[in-house]
Amino acid sequence: MNNRKVKKPFKKRPCYFCLESMNYIDYKETELLKKFTSSHGKINPSRLTGTCSRHQRLLSTAIKRARIIALLPFVSERIRK
């Protein structure tokens, strides 16, 4: 008689960078970095993107470097208004 929902088992997505065997994430590859940011310009967490912890740290550093050099925006255009 419990009204609890049954949780499905969680399946972790494979890391994109481990599959491509990339050891370095280049901050100049803006198209790749845009895939790992939200529409608001935030960095997506690893539970959404499936990146491992090592590559998530490299990814966040690369995104932050691209923002400082103005290759990526800090905030999306829609929010600025």
- Residue 7 is assigned to a structural domain of this protein: no
Percent of the chain with pLDDT over 70: 93
- Residue 47 is assigned to a structural domain of this protein: yes
- Residue 39 is assigned to a structural domain of this protein: yes
- Residue 4 is assigned to a structural domain of this protein: no
Domains in the chain: how many in total? 1
Q: Can you tell me the mean pLDDT for 29-57? A: 93
Rounded CA-CA distance 65/74 in Å is 11
User: The whole model's pTM is what?
Assistant: 0.80
List residues bridging with 53 in a β-sheet.
Answer: none
Confidence of residue 78 (pLDDT cuts 50, 70, 90): low
Rounded CA-CA distance 14/79 in Å is 32
- Residue 9 is assigned to a structural domain of this protein: no
Q: Can you tell me the mean pLDDT for 23-39? A: 93
Confidence of residue 1 (pLDDT cuts 50, 70, 90): low
Query: What pLDDT does 80 receive?
Result: 56
Structural domain span for residue 20 = 16-80
| CATH, residue 69 | 4.10.640.10
Rounded CA-CA distance 73/46 in Å is 20
- Residue 5 is assigned to a structural domain of this protein: no
- Residue 8 is assigned to a structural domain of this protein: no
Q: Can you tell me the mean pLDDT for 25-34? A: 94
